Amino acid sequence: MLCRRVLTLPIQLSRLYSLQASCQQRARSAPYPKRTHNCGSLTARDAGSRVVLAGWILPERKGKAISFFPIKDSHGTTQLIVNHADNPASSSIISEIPVESTVLIEGTVLLRPSNARRSDPTGEIDVQVDKVTLLNPATNLPFLPSNPHNLPNEDLRSRHRYLDLRRTALSENIKKRSQVAHLVRNILHTIGFTEVETPVLLRSSPEGAREFLVPTRINTASPTSQEPLFYALQQSPQQPKQLLICSGGVDKYFQIAKCFRDEDGRKDRQPEFTQIDLEMAFVSWSGDEKGTSWKIGGGEVRDVIETLLREIWQQFENVALPPRLRVMTYHDAMTHFGSDKPDTRFGLEITDLTDLLPANRALSRENEVIECIVVREPEFIKASHSFKHDYDVEHITLTEENLQTWLLGSDSARQILSQEDQSIVNDALKIKSGDDVWLTRRSRLPKGGSTVLGKVRLGLAELAQSQGEFTPTKDPHFLWITEFPLFTRDDSDKDFLAKGRWSSSHHPFTAPMWEDIPTLYRGDIETVRGQHYDLVLNGVEIGGGSVRIHDPLMQDHIFTNVLQLSENEKTPFNHLVRALHCGAPPHGGIALGFDRIMTMLCNTQSIRDVIAFPKTSLGTDLLFKSPAPVTSQVLYEYGIQPRSAT
């Protein structure tokens, strides 16, 4: 009776299978009734209804007269009741079904006795089971995803990601990601943006070492040439989106875009990642706005992003962001926080001592500053005492004895400052015995993304947090950073291309601040600031963008005279310069790191928790077993072969 209902096929066919399970444990491939509800939808209002549910069966809670079985799907869990006496058939079937099998249940919704009602969505009812149909048995599970307390290691879960995704925590992240993306699209469509798909298969450019290549079966034009040709996977839609806006065909572009970078050695690295990418025509200057500290163009982009963030944080975090997010210049960020992406959730601010002294009178070298962090009791003081590091920084614990000499006697200030300076500093800092001081001297123009004191500051906070001395606020600390230097010589990531020349701090299409245009043409490259803006959340860079150059002559000046690119190096940019010549509008845009934003919204540490099928930090995929070798026959078609042993 039991077998006949569950089995699809006439009994004699079972001999054809290599059947390890017992007869009731075959998957059902014959028709079955449609489900009427999902497992998260039944409430007291459904009491008395006949329902059909489908889902995954969880461990039995067995009683004398009745057993309880939770049945779960991605919408929720419903408690099933099987009455042993009334329905012995169902009772024995369901007890034999392995946990995590898919089943179909027909039954009746019962209102729970009032003392058994719970506040969770289906907590008011049970479903009394009349009939059980096994749809597919679970066999030899490597782990039980319904048990959150005994998770195996990440490696095992990655190899069986299809089972790990059954965990509620992970599937909720994936669903939230979908909801946030849709909210972003809804807002952007509402305010007139057009989503445009740009090519993933693009041209490889001189930065090739950081992009993925895609061999093609296309040969160079010359029929005798065997030179293989390659696409490159887009690192970002930067050039296509600028060309699109240059066309005038679209006024406001966006795309939730898959991007690809072949970088290694990054924590939480993913070779493919997702950007919320946008670009707008006719962005204008925003410095006129009353009281604004945003002294560059692109205010239209800022407005859109702040609207997006405000809606997302309202809907998903129930947090009301302020009407305007804070803006800080790169100079201020480096001076006060020692970082171009400051975490402003805590103090430990840096003080430039040079600034405190009248007319810098005592500083022998003008191009340097002396700066310090003062750690005062009680917060961070334990961390400050126990912080281990190998930074080039002085650590001075103040006592009654050294209170009037700590600065004068330091390596950073010795023979530079006077006793009067020491007093001025002590007064300004309101310093006292028991305080802890971290002291450095550095060049006045900060370089790159952080200073030594910036690293000390983060190190202290991290240590204090791990020791329970400090708990960061839950309020999100958003921050725009503006007025970055337009060019740099200190980015090691870029130097392999720049080879000692200037390189662009962000990319060569970023416009200078208009006040600095004369400086640019005068050749005073180091001090030119760009119309770039980075968006920082809790010390993590979650996006960046800029007003672009729309003047083809200026763009060419930067390529030729500042970056000193050869004609060959300029080739991949030629079409962009030509597009600027065709009446390109002033324009600007931004890209937000969607994976990072979701990591924050899902309150998780790892980017892999917000991606359905992530890769390891090495770039391997333990589920699909990629990358993998291919036959030399296939490579031959693409005009390549494994490189010869050297």
Q: How far apart are CA 511 and CA 489, in angstroms?
A: 18
For residue 359, give the nearest of 420, 446, 437, 405 by alpha carbon.
420
Instruction: Compose the 459-488 pattern: x for residues touching a copy of itself by CB under 8 A, - for all others.
Output: ------------------------------
On whether the CB atoms of residues 333 and 453 are closer than 8 A, the answer is no
Cβ proximity to a copy of itself, 348 vs 584, nearer residue: 584
What do you get for the CA distance between the two ends of the chain, in Å?
Answer: 70
Is 352 a binding residue for a copy of itself by CB under 8 A? The answer is: no
Among 50, 117, 189, 444, binds a copy of itself (CB under 8 A): 189
CB-count burial class (<10 Å; 0-12, 13-18, 19+) for 582: exposed
Site for a copy of itself in 45-74 (CB under 8 A): 54-56, 72-74
Is 223 a binding residue for a copy of itself by CB under 8 A? The answer is: no
Q: How far apart are CA 448 and CA 471, in angstroms?
A: 29
Pairing of strands 540-547, 66-73: unpaired
Cβ proximity to a copy of itself, 438 vs 533, nearer residue: 533
Q: Which among 107-115, 220-228, 381-389, 432-440 is the span making contact with a copy of itself, rule CB under 8 A?
A: 220-228
Q: 3-state class of 166 per DSSP?
A: coil
* Inter-CA distances, 117 with 94, 107, 112, 298, 513, Å: 24, 19, 6, 55, 64
Mention every residue, 6+ apart, whose C-beta is less than 8 A from residue 122: 39, 40, 41, 42, 43, 76, 77, 78, 79
CB of 593 to a copy of itself, least distance (A): 14
Is 17 a binding residue for a copy of itself by CB under 8 A? The answer is: yes
Cβ proximity to a copy of itself, 69 vs 387, nearer residue: 69
Cβ proximity to a copy of itself, 68 vs 521, nearer residue: 521
Q: What is the CA radius of gyration of the chain?
A: 32
- Report residue 146 as tokens: 């319904």
Among 111, 408, 540, 640, binds a copy of itself (CB under 8 A): 640
| Angle formed by the axes of helices 594-601 and 168-190, nearest 10° | 120
Phi, psi for residue 147 in degrees, rounded to 5:
-105, 95
CB of 646 to a copy of itself, least distance (A): 9
CB of 389 to a copy of itself, least distance (A): 33
Site for a copy of itself in 535-554 (CB under 8 A): 549-554
Is 558 a binding residue for a copy of itself by CB under 8 A? The answer is: no
CB of 118 to a copy of itself, least distance (A): 23
Mention every residue, 6+ apart, whose C-beta is less than 8 A from residue 592: 275, 276, 277, 305, 535, 542, 543
CB of 355 to a copy of itself, least distance (A): 31
CB-count burial class (<10 Å; 0-12, 13-18, 19+) for 553: exposed
Is 24 a binding residue for a copy of itself by CB under 8 A? The answer is: no
With CB under 8 A, what is the number of residues at the site for a copy of itself?
Answer: 163
CB-count burial class (<10 Å; 0-12, 13-18, 19+) for 98: middle
The distance between the two most distant Cα atoms of the chain, rounded to a whole number of Å, is 102
Is 533 a binding residue for a copy of itself by CB under 8 A? The answer is: no
Instruction: Compose the 75-114 pattern: x for residues touching a copy of itself by CB under 8 A, - for all others.
Output: x----------------------x-xxx------------
Pairing of strands 125-136, 76-83: parallel
Cβ proximity to a copy of itself, 88 vs 583, nearer residue: 583
Site for a copy of itself in 585-624 (CB under 8 A): 585-586, 611-613, 615, 618-621, 623-624
Is 562 a binding residue for a copy of itself by CB under 8 A? The answer is: no
CB of 576 to a copy of itself, least distance (A): 9
CB of 531 to a copy of itself, least distance (A): 10
CB of 267 to a copy of itself, least distance (A): 18
Torsion, Cα of 149, 150, 156, 161 (10° steps): -40
Is 139 a binding residue for a copy of itself by CB under 8 A? The answer is: yes
* Inter-CA distances, 593 with 236, 319, 520, 537, Å: 11, 20, 31, 11
Site for a copy of itself in 277-336 (CB under 8 A): 281-282, 284-285, 287-288, 297
Q: Write down how long the chain is.
A: 646
CB of 208 to a copy of itself, least distance (A): 5
Site for a copy of itself in 158-187 (CB under 8 A): 160-167, 170-171, 174-175, 177-178, 181-182, 185-186
CB of 559 to a copy of itself, least distance (A): 13
For residue 525, give the nearest of 574, 566, 490, 577 by alpha carbon.
490
CB of 488 to a copy of itself, least distance (A): 22
Mention every residue, 6+ apart, whose C-beta is less than 8 A from residue 375: 348, 381, 383, 384, 435, 436, 437, 438, 460
Cβ proximity to a copy of itself, 88 vs 636, nearer residue: 636
H or E element in which residue 159 lies: helix 154-159
CB of 73 to a copy of itself, least distance (A): 6
Q: How far apart are CA 487 and CA 489, in angstroms?
A: 7
Q: How far apart are CA 291 and CA 301, in angstroms?
A: 18
Among 233, 381, 536, 563, binds a copy of itself (CB under 8 A): 233
CB of 487 to a copy of itself, least distance (A): 17
Q: How far apart are CA 53 and CA 594, in angstroms?
A: 35
Q: Which among 202-210, 394-402, 472-480, 536-544 is the span making contact with a copy of itself, rule CB under 8 A?
A: 202-210
Is 212 a binding residue for a copy of itself by CB under 8 A? The answer is: yes
Q: 3-state class of 277 per DSSP?
A: strand
Cβ proximity to a copy of itself, 182 vs 414, nearer residue: 182
Phi, psi for residue 134 in degrees, rounded to 5:
-75, 125
Q: 3-state class of 373 per DSSP?
A: strand
Is 577 a binding residue for a copy of itself by CB under 8 A? The answer is: no
Cβ proximity to a copy of itself, 76 vs 485, nearer residue: 76
CB of 484 to a copy of itself, least distance (A): 18
Q: Which among 25-33, 367-375, 407-415, 458-466 is the span making contact with a copy of itself, rule CB under 8 A?
A: 25-33
CB of 277 to a copy of itself, least distance (A): 13
* Amino acid found at 288: D
Is 204 a binding residue for a copy of itself by CB under 8 A? The answer is: yes
Is 496 a binding residue for a copy of itself by CB under 8 A? The answer is: no
Q: How far apart are CA 587 and CA 475, in angstroms?
A: 33
CB of 475 to a copy of itself, least distance (A): 29
Cβ proximity to a copy of itself, 233 vs 413, nearer residue: 233
Q: Which among 6-14, 105-113, 337-345, 369-377 is the span making contact with a copy of itself, rule CB under 8 A?
A: 6-14
Cβ proximity to a copy of itself, 213 vs 396, nearer residue: 213
On whether the CB atoms of residues 602 and 176 are closer than 8 A, the answer is yes
